[in-house]
Amino acid sequence: MPDEKPKFYLTTPIYYTNGLPHIGHTYTTVVADAIRRYKRMRGYEVVMTTGTDEHGVNVERAAQKAGIPESEYVARMAVTWKALWDELGIPADEFVRTTDLRHVRTVQWLFKLCKENGYVYKGHYTGQYCIYDNAFVNDAKPGDSCPDCGRPLETITEENYFFKLSAFQKPLLDFYKKNPNFIQPETRKNEIISFVEGGLKDLSITRTTVHWGIPVPGEEPHVFYVWFDALTAYLSAVGGPDYENRGFWPADLHLVGKDIIRFHTVYWPAFLMAAMLPVPKQVWVHGWFLMDSSKMSKSKGNVVLPRPIANMLGMDAMRYFLMREVVFGQDGNFSYDALVTRYNSDLANGLGNLASRTAAMIEKNFVGKIPKPGPRLPQDDAIARVASETIGEAFEQFENFAFARSLEAIWTAIAAADKYLTSEQPWALGDSEADTQRKAAILWTTAELLRIVTVLAHPVLPDSTAKVWALLGQPGRVSAVELDGLRWGQLATGVQLGKAQALFPRVEKQEAIERIEAMANEELNPAPAAHAATASGAAAAPATAEKIGIEDFAKVEMRVGQIKTAERIVGADKLLKLTVDIGTEIRQVCAGIAQYYEPEKLIGRKVAVVVNLAPRKLRGVESNGMIVAASVGPEGRPVLAGFPDEDVEIGARLK
Ligand code: MSP
């Protein structure tokens, strides 16, 4: 077919289900999503895979601790992971669970191929095993700790199937030589080549001491070693045994963190070679985001959660920070301070300010229509040159996975446009024919640069660039712009600007950090039901059959309150922050009614308030009481309880 698009297949690791997603996992998924968007804009048909790694001892233990069967435990966790990626706007095209039937079949098929080709044999193995990393540690002695995570190793002896990894030393070294880009960055490649040159030992690929795993057909109680199982997920996602029909195998790109490099660059290609299947084209190894210079883990209590950041600053801000702050491939420190600083400087004052300023001036001077450019001056051409060079630079750096550099180039162009506006001062020009023409040239030039940076930044900032695109009144969707055809001078003129909207409202650093931290705290220590209901829009309470005595009811102190102020909360689109006069004092109360009540219309309204609830923070904002509302319809629309017919006294108790 002549116009068939080229295919591109990329993967993130599949994440362990015995933990919860944090910013480190989000990092890989965000990068994968940005590459996916970029490739689509370059005309590729792209599939991006992520998923959950659901087998192994750790899951057995976690399920046991939770008192539920493993299958139920992993089903819940898979929902948690998948729902988060969906919520954050980074859903996979293929989400593989290692308990999926398609995956189980693929693992069993891969094993069969390896065995038929003579690369699998039965033997006994005694070794030191890290149950947290699901790996035997070669050369470790009893009592040693895991070199990766530092936790104690366990001695395990069992009958295993072995994979003849030793037979692949030469084929792997030849493969690395013939495919010099297989392992990136370069330093990682050298590390792996030395490791393989040092000799490879055969690898046990089944277990009898573990029961929660994919069974080896006809060989029960053998189950597959988690890494033989997990790596195969990349293949199961795109057809498994039927991969040729889907046309996405071999993968173009596996994105992995530095801790799992060997599995991906030594074991995985060896398994595939043994099965005589095509080997992936590239493994790109990134570093870690560290908290106080150490890896994040729940046990250390230093995990950074993605949702509170997305709620407070928007997902684009988080994406921008992750890809701009640290050179891809190296470790970097995560800090809320740096995050909010970048948000204010690069997004609010940079892109956001350029967009709103440009739009406001076009609105004022050209009735909101993009003007046709008047005669050009050298300084206008200089901006055109900056934009054209930025296109080349941003592409080149992105292609090399130098995302920080690519963004830096784009933001240099934004700064050039700011400087240009400041020196050209279109606001100081009058209404004469010549001045109007000059204003048209300046504003057209600025808007054209803005259009170009908007297209270039789209893979990293999908939501806000779509808004700028609409603001500029440009046709179609920004995601549909073909990157390869992007040139200076394509700005549609005469079109009406879209509605102005706040792109990146500036935030006060300390307050933003406190709010993010408070939200993270709420997520780690979930709220009791009553408060949760106010936060989520007065969820419908099930009718309960259980009766309570009057003394139970009397414990709830409800009073008539009058709303004094009401405002929206940045980062919490369902909540309003109210101050309510309850007779004896004025209280701050948050209510999950923002989607149904305009804040201005609530002022002066009398409402029923539960006043003796323990205070707590909702989305980082202190709430000291609860406004009573009916929950109506399947979506639980809140309707405020009130006193329309009588002039009731503020503070009167409801009994
Ligand atoms: N389940 C295996 C991968 C199997 S892939 C066939 C696994 N899971 S994991 O959940 O522990 O880690 C998944 C990825 O998240 C790894 O690439 C790891 O490097 C990455 N990260 C975990 N914490 C991280 C940071 N703090 N920073 C950046 N990435 C980190 O390993």
C-beta of residue 531 within 8 angstroms of C-beta of residue 626:
yes
- Reported as a pLDDT band with limits 50, 70 and 90, residue 536 is very low
- Contact 81/92 with Cβ under 8 angstroms? no
- When pLDDT is averaged across residues 568-596 and rounded to a whole number, the result is 89
What is the average per-residue pLDDT within 589-605? 92
Q: Distance (Å, rounded) from C-alpha 354 to C-alpha 375? A: 23
For the Cβ of 16 lying below 6 angstroms from any atom of ligand 1, the answer is yes
81 in ligand 1 pocket by Cβ < 6 Å? Answer: no
Query: Cα(21) to centroid of ligand 1, in Å?
Result: 10
Pocket test for ligand 1, best of 10, 28, 232 (most atoms within 8 A of CB): 28
Q: Measure Cα distances from 296 to 266, 301, 307, 513 in Å.
A: 26, 8, 16, 18
Q: How confident is the model at residue 535 (pLDDT cuts 50, 70, 90)?
A: very low
**Cα separation, 338 vs 646, whole angstroms:** 54
DSSP-assigned letter for residue 137 = -
pLDDT at 127: 85
Segment 572-596 mean pLDDT: 91
- Using DSSP's 3-state secondary structure scheme, residue 469 falls into helix
**Nearest one of 626, 504, 34 to 286, comparing CA atoms:** 34
Distance CA 413, CA 472 (A): 18
Q: Looking at residue 479, what DSSP letter applies? A: G
Q: Which amino acid is at 589?
A: V
Residue whose Cα lies nearest atom 5 of ligand 1: it is 13
* Cα dist from 280 to 34, 41, 96, whole Å: 20, 23, 18
- Tell me the percentage of the chain whose pLDDT exceeds 70: 96
Q: Is the CB of 25 under 6 A from ligand 1?
A: yes
Q: What is the pLDDT of residue 118?
A: 98
Spatial separation of the C-alpha atoms in residues 52 and 82, rounded to whole Å: 9
Percent of the chain with pLDDT over 90: 78
Strands (E), 498-635: 558-569, 572-581, 586-591, 606-610, 616-618, 621-623, 626-627, 629-632
User: pLDDT value at position 147?
Assistant: 83
Q: What is the pLDDT of residue 631?
A: 85
For atom 13 of ligand 1, the residue with the nearest CA is 15
Q: Which atom of ligand 1 is nearest to the CA of 296?
A: 26
- Taken in order 527, 531, 535, 541, is the CA torsion positive or negative? positive
Task: List, for residues 523-533, the tens digit of each pLDDT value.
Answer: 888 765 444 33
Mutate to test the pocket of ligand 1, among 10, 11, 20, 25 (most ligand atoms within 8 A of CB): 25
Q: What separation in angstroms does the CA of 406 have from each of 324, 328, 396, 466? A: 9, 11, 8, 19
Nearest CA to ligand 1 atom 6: 231
Average pLDDT taken over every residue of the chain: 92
Considering only CA atoms, which residue is closest to atom 29 of ligand 1? Answer: 24
Task: Give the Cα separation of 451 and 468 in Å (integer).
Answer: 8
Peptide bond into 180 cis (omega under 30): no
Nearest-angstrom CA–CA distance, 558 and 642? 12
Q: Is 28 in the pocket of ligand 1 (CB under 6 A)?
A: yes
**Average pLDDT for 73-91:** 96
C-alpha triplet 523, 29, 296: angle, nearest 5°: 50
Of 643 and 366, the one with more pLDDT: 366
| pLDDT value, residue 544 | 47
Model confidence pTM above 0.75: yes
Mean pLDDT across the stretch 357-376?
Answer: 95
State both tokens at 438: 């000059």
**159 CB-near residues (< 8 Å, 6+ apart):** 122, 123, 124, 208, 222
* CB of 620 sitting under 6 A from ligand 1: no
Average pLDDT over residues 64-79: 95
pLDDT computed for residue 209 by the predictor: 78
Instruction: State residue 301's pLDDT score.
Output: 77
* Whether the Cβ atoms of residue 628 and residue 643 lie closer than 8 Å to each other: no
Higher pLDDT, 140 or 84: 84
For residue range 84-108, list pLDDT tens digits in order: 999 999 999 999 999 999 999 999 9
pLDDT of residue 643: 87
Q: How far is the CA of 327 from the centre of ligand 1 (A)?
A: 18
Most confident of 85-94, 498-507, 623-632: 85-94
pLDDT of residue 229 exceeding 50 = yes
Give me the mean pLDDT over the 219-231 stretch: 95
**Residue 70 confidence class, pLDDT cut points 50, 70, 90:** very high
259 in contact with ligand 1, CB cutoff 6 A: yes
Whether the pLDDT of residue 539 is over 50: the answer is no
